[in-house]
Amino acid sequence: MAKIDLIVRRAKLDGKEVDIFVSRGRIESVKKSVKSLDAGDARVEEAFGLTAMASMTDVHVHLREPGYEYKEDVESGLRAAAWGGFSNIMCMANTKPVNDTASVTELMLEKARLHWPKGPRLFPIGALTKGLSGKELAPMAELAKAGCAAFSNDGVPVKSSKIFLRAVEYASDWDRVVIDHCEDPYLGVATGINEGEVSSRLGLPAQPDVAEAMQVSRDILLAEYLDIPIHLAHISCRKSVDLIRFAKERGVKITAETTPHYLTMTEDYLEAEETEYDTNAKVNPPLRPEADRLAVIEALNDGTLDCLATDHAPHAAHEKEVEFDVAPCGITGLDTALSVTWQLVRDGVLTQETFTRAWTTAPCSIFNLPVNRFEPGDPADFFLFDEGEEWTVSPQTLYSRGKNTPLLGTVLKGRVKTHFIAGKKIV
Amino acid sequence: MKWLHKDLLDVVQLSKSEVMAIFETAGRFQELQERPVKKVPTLKGRSVILFFAEPSTRTKTSFDVAGKRLSADTFSLAKSSSSLTKGESLKDTALTLQAMAPDAIVIRHWCSGAARFLADRLDCSVINAGDGRHAHPTQALLDSFTLYQEWGDVAGKTVLILGDIAHSRVARSNVILLNKLGASVRICGPRTLLPPAIRKWPVKVYSDLNEAMKGVDAVMCLRLQLERQKEGLLPDLREYARTFGLAQRHVDLANPEVRILHPGPMNRGVEISSDLADCADSLVLDQVSSGVVVRMALLFLYMTRKGEE
């Protein structure tokens, strides 16, 4: 038997009280807890009353460094991830300069090593096209070699189907999946509000759901034609999930994510008396009507949507405290994702199996990242969670530099108390 | 009547009895228009800032005249002469204005929700003089007041709003207010200029102007922004004028007593024929006169609010 480095005592796992044994950064075994134990040289962590959960993976994060460090930087983003329960995060390429050269990727990774040497692990996503211009392919071989785990033009969808097709083909040469931000740029730009009754009353230019669904259908057809996987980012509406379900039934290699806010919020928030025109809920794609929210939940539960991601998009307070038209799109999400989605499990909206798949197994399997199922040999990536602890979302309680969330002032339940990555305590 | 609202952001927030109180107050101020000296000391010593971040002639002048007739000091601020052109945020502009301690700010802004944005941050009354495509409550109030003066009661009448509904804050506020007052509202315009959710609005929708005009008691023409053609929303202005421009042949289908309104400025020969704009049934200039007294009523009610509480 390998030498045990860490024993986490009396943690609750799947309803049972267990001791978790860790050796050399990996799960050695998980055993029913016993009263007394000879720990030997191992470090012992008491977890009585706390729930052990496998660390989560977020495949869609904006860290803003380089270029917009005042919104977030690698250090603060990883801090939010560590306290949010994430062991792996993938960060998008829309930095300044864009992550379309190896030196930008290397800078991100160097910052991560410098500030968080024990994790959370950072996996940069390279640009699909140079400067996110949609015109010339980015040097994906170089980017993959430097450490990019995937490619995406997130935020600036590629207009040309021909360029997009070539990008998917070329990325597959380096075993990297392309993540597409589904938005037909001719049908709807990022106005941050759904086209419908609410936008028509508020008088805001709006984005119709077909702008998303049109691009989803394009990507499905291309994935089928090329027989190459494509991952669809932040799916928000019924039309899209219907298309994805149909595609999966035909065996098309499509995977897709949605975010906690599409599971919990609707466009009605933007015309409620207290929150009318609240720019903290301006997000792209926009919050949709209730029927779409329910369709997205159903699709996540039945596996049509593979995983969850936060689309963590931090912005500075002064950027959001402006007129709705002027404000940037985005909600900060790393800090709140766990509490929000675990509440959905408590409420019976999501099953626990869905939660586990959506935050751990599916994202890791899509992007070939390490995953912990609490099986011997798995990476010892897990956190101890106080399910009952209530906390109020406020600028002081968020670890991210971005405080832009419509949840400000809301009381959430459940907080990470300790987080281990590869058996090392990071918070 | 005890006036409890701090701000006027949209007609949605007004009850029918509050609207009638505004009309009654405006009616009393009408008499003032007839006097040789058209000024009363009602708001002496009070100050109103007219903050127009978007071009306006008639609304701004109307508020200015209204304020001065009540002896309030009015101060104008246009976008071109404000720090907004230097990149100052609306929040900072608002706080700067607040520090000058006005009793009310009248705001026009190109962004929907801008009036609400100010109202949430300022202690003084904020009156929305048009925000983006969202609301233009004082225009709707003066339109209904004009019809109220003509008819005595707006309830039971049929009013057609014609033209570019999608981009019009005037249409949005009028639909809400006319419904509140018991009128039935029709909408007519090309599909490209109607909001996608129009079928959920409390209106009857027409694409044929001849059908839409049958039996209406009033028609409100909306100004067509000529750049809509460049945005691909219209094939050309000639076709628009022939299909959706109000002409005598349409008026002949309406109630014989039909009244014609237009919030101005008009594109003569595009959304309305020049003859109709000037005809005896046109209330276009009555709207301008009503605008002053309705705005006097609003300034009076909002700026004396604290004294009555």
User: CATH top-level class for A54-367?
Assistant: alpha beta
Q: Which residue of A has its CA nearest to B176?
A: A201
For residue A185, the model assigns a pLDDT of 87
Give tens-digit pLDDT for B227-241: 888 889 999 999 999
What dihedral do alpha carbons B233, B237, B243, B245 form, nearest 10°? 110
Separation of alpha carbons A267 and A324, rounded Å = 14
Separation of alpha carbons A76 and B31, rounded Å = 66
Tokens of A310: 């936060």
Q: What values do phi and psi take at B232, rounded to 5?
A: 80, 15
Mean pLDDT, contiguous 10-residue spans, chain B (309 residues): 92 97 96 90 96 91 97 86 74 89 96 96 96 97 98 97 97 98 98 93 97 98 91 92 96 97 94 94 96 98 73
Count of residues in chain A? 427
Q: Which residue of A has its CA nearest to B175?
A: A201
Give contacts of A205 with chain B, Cβ < 8 Å.
133
Q: Three-state DSSP class for A310? A: coil
Whether B196 and A326 lie within 8 Å, measured CB to CB:
no
Tokens of A235: 């799916």
Give contacts of B195 with chain A, Cβ < 8 Å.
200
For residue A95, the model assigns a pLDDT of 98
Task: Point out the catalytic residue in the list A311, A325, A347, A378.
Answer: A311
Please name the residues between 114 and 133 in chain B that touch chain A, using a CB distance below 8 Å.
Answer: 114, 116-117, 131-133
Give contacts of B135 with chain A, Cβ < 8 Å.
203
Whether A203 and B112 lie within 8 Å, measured CB to CB:
yes
Give tens-digit pLDDT for A143-197: 999 999 999 999 999 999 999 999 999 999 999 999 999 999 899 888 999 999 9
Give contacts of B197 with chain A, Cβ < 8 Å.
195-197, 199-201
Whether B116 and A201 lie within 8 Å, measured CB to CB:
no
Query: How far, CA to CA in Å, does A331 sit from each of A78, A123, A289, A394?
Result: 17, 21, 18, 14
CB atoms under 10 Å from CB of B58, counted, come to 14
For residue B307, the model assigns a pLDDT of 46
| Helix residue ranges per DSSP H, A147-286 | 161-173, 197-202, 209-226, 238-249, 260-264
CB distance A243 to A213 below 8 Å: yes
Whether B196 and A201 lie within 8 Å, measured CB to CB:
no
Q: Is B252 exposed, middle or buried (0-12, 13-18, 19+ CB in 10 A)?
A: exposed
For residue B308, the model assigns a pLDDT of 43
Q: Which residue of A has its CA nearest to B133?
A: A203
Q: Is residue A312 part of an annotated ligand binding site?
A: no
Side-chain-side CA neighbours of residue A408 (13 Å): 17
CB distance A171 to A140 below 8 Å: yes
Angle (CA) B3-B6-B9 rounded to 5° is 110
Mean of pLDDT values over A21-37:
95
Q: Is residue A284 part of an annotated ligand binding site?
A: yes
Q: Is residue A315 part of an annotated ligand binding site?
A: yes
Q: Which residue of B has its CA nearest to A208?
A: B196
CB distance B132 to B117 below 8 Å: no
Q: What values do phi and psi take at A26, rounded to 5?
A: -125, 155
A346 alpha carbon, distance to own chain's centre:
21
Mean of pLDDT values over A359-363:
98
CA distance A13 to chain B (A): 47
pLDDT band at A381 (very low <50, low <70, confident <90, very high): very high
- Collect all residues with Cβ–Cβ distance below 8 Å to B23 and sequence separation of at least 6: B144, B145, B148, B294, B297
Q: Is residue A62 part of an annotated ligand binding site?
A: yes
Q: What values do phi and psi take at B23, rounded to 5?
A: -60, -40
CA distance A208 to chain B (A): 9
Q: Is residue A94 part of an annotated ligand binding site?
A: yes
Give tens-digit pLDDT for B169-183: 999 999 999 999 999
Whether A203 and B89 lie within 8 Å, measured CB to CB:
no
pTM (2 d.p.): 0.94
CA distance A277 to chain B (A): 6
Separation of alpha carbons B116 and B103, rounded Å = 17
CB-defined contacts A:B, below 8 A:
62
Query: How far, CA to CA in Å, does A165 sit from each of A218, A221, A281?
Result: 10, 10, 33
Q: Is residue A311 part of an annotated ligand binding site?
A: yes
Whether A199 and B197 lie within 8 Å, measured CB to CB:
yes
Please name the residues between 254 and 293 in chain A that touch chain B, using a CB distance below 8 Å.
Answer: 276-277
Chain A interface includes B90 (CB < 8 A): yes
CB distance A57 to A81 below 8 Å: no
Q: Three-state DSSP class for A56? A: strand
Give contacts of B196 with chain A, Cβ < 8 Å.
195-196, 200, 208
Query: How far, CA to CA in Å, does B198 sit from each of B188, B189, B201, B202?
Result: 11, 11, 5, 8
Angle (CA) A275-A280-A283 rounded to 5° is 115
Provide ipTM, 2 decimals.
0.90
For residue B106, the model assigns a pLDDT of 97
Chain B interface includes A319 (CB < 8 A): no
Whether A204 and B169 lie within 8 Å, measured CB to CB:
no
Tokens of A67: 């270029």
CA distance B55 to chain A (A): 18
Give tens-digit pLDDT for A47-78: 999 999 999 999 999 999 999 999 999 999 99
Give contacts of A197 with chain B, Cβ < 8 Å.
197, 200
Whether A202 and B112 lie within 8 Å, measured CB to CB:
yes
Give contacts of B114 with chain A, Cβ < 8 Å.
323
Q: Is residue A60 part of an annotated ligand binding site?
A: yes
Q: Which of B147, B273, B145, B165 is nearest to B216 (CA)?
A: B147
Determine whether A180 is an active site residue: no
Chain B interface includes A96 (CB < 8 A): no
Whether A203 and B169 lie within 8 Å, measured CB to CB:
yes
